[in-house]
Amino acid sequence: MKIGELAKKLNCTVETIRYYEKIGLIPPSVRDQNNNYRHYNQNHIERLSFVRHCRALAMSHEEILELLTAREQDGASCEKIDLVIDNHLKHVSDRISELQQLEKQLHTLRKQCKTPGANQECGIIQELDSPIDSNIQGLKNSNHVSGSH
């Protein structure tokens, strides 16, 4: 299978696949000796599918590598696998909590504009001009699940 076909099958771009190969998230593809085109066998397809499945669940590359490593430990129990998922689930729910806090604060801010009028009197601007309320903490960027943009 050529790269374009694989990309369609897995609903990603060819650039993404080449990028994964470059950083070693998937093994190197086999090249056509005539034209240097990449070719993929069932093994490649399954591995990439696994990776895309994990990415669709917003796991980081690091987490994915942990899963792939743990999976290949023959005979070991699946504790590590379960732990990766548990931790990642916490990443997601932590971020949800943060964003919900943010949502509240933005609602409050929005209500400061009682009746739209001149810029300078807008309650939103007045609020933003004032020092930051200690309730607002912003997003922690230690969490790999990203914010809202």
Q: How far is CA 5 from CA 15, 52, 54, 140, in A?
A: 13, 15, 21, 39
Q: Does 109 participate in binding Zn ion (rule CB under 5 A)?
A: no
Nearest approach, Cβ of residue 115 and Zn ion (Å) = 8
Cα separations in angstroms, 71 against 31, 45, 66, 77: 27, 17, 8, 9
Q: Does 86 bind a copy of itself (CB under 8 A)?
A: yes
Two tokens at 19?
Answer: 């990028």
- Which of Zn ion, DNA, a copy of itself, none does residue 92 bind to, with CB < 5 to 8 Å depending on kind? a copy of itself
44, 5 Cβ separation under 8 angstroms: no
Q: Binding string, 14-43, against a copy of itself, x = CB under 8 A?
A: ------------------------------
Considering only residues 104-143, where is the footprint of a copy of itself by CB under 8 A? 105-107, 109-110, 113, 116-122, 124-125, 128-132, 136-139, 143
**Could you tell me which stretch among 31-39, 46-54, 76-84, 97-105 binds Zn ion (CB under 5 A)?**
76-84
- In the block, residue with structure tokens 């399954």: 46
